[in-house]
Amino acid sequence: MMSSRIFVASSIVLLAFLAISEGMSLRSLGVEQHCRCIMTESKPIGRHIAKVEIIPRNSHCEETEIIATLKVSGQEVCLDPEAPWVKRVIEKIVSKGAFSVVRRCVKISSGQEYAAKIINTKKLSARGADLCEADPVLHIRHCNCKPRAWLP
C-alpha cells in the first residue's frame, strides 16, 4: 500500500517536472508562444527601414507577421501585411537576384496567388550555382524556356 502511494506521488512529480521543462525549453530556444504584433503600421515608412523580418503563421500565431527594424532608433515596428506599400517592399526583397526576378502572379481561373521566378538566361554564367538554380526551370516544357543546350 505504501509503495503504491510512493509510485503515484513520484509519477505526479515527474509529470509536473516534464510539463514545466517543456514550456521552459521552448522559451529558451527563442520560440514565441504568442503573436509578437499587437498593432500594425499601415502608413508608408519605407525609407526608414533598415531590416525586415517575415514570420509566417504558425501554431502560436494565425497571422503572418512582418517586423521592420528602423535605421536610426533600431526600434521594431510591426507592418500591416495587407498594406500595398508593404507588399511592394516584400516583393522587392524576395525578387532580388543576380540573374532572376520573382513576381507575384494570380491564376486567372481560381484567383490563387503564387510566386513565379523569371530567369534571364542571357545573364547566366557558367558557374555551378547559377546553372543549378536554372536547371529545374529549364526542364519545364514551356515556350519561354530555352533547351539546356542553349545555355552558355
**pLDDT tens figures, 44-57:** 887 888 888 888 88
E strand or H helix that includes residue 33: none
In this predicted structure, the answer to whether residue 145 has a pLDDT above a threshold of 60 is: no
pLDDT at position 88 is: 84
The answer to whether the Cα torsion of 53, 115, 106, 35 is positive or negative is: negative
Whole-prediction pTM: 0.46
Number of H helices, E strands in the chain: 3, 5
pLDDT at position 98 is: 60
Average pLDDT over residues 106-117: 77
Task: Provide the CA 86 distance to its chain's centre, in angstroms.
Answer: 15
Average pLDDT over residues 109-116: 77
Residue 24: Cβ-neighbour burial (10 angstroms; 0-12, 13-18, 19+): exposed
pLDDT in tens, 38-87: 888 888 887 888 888 888 888 888 888 889 999 989 999 999 988 998 88
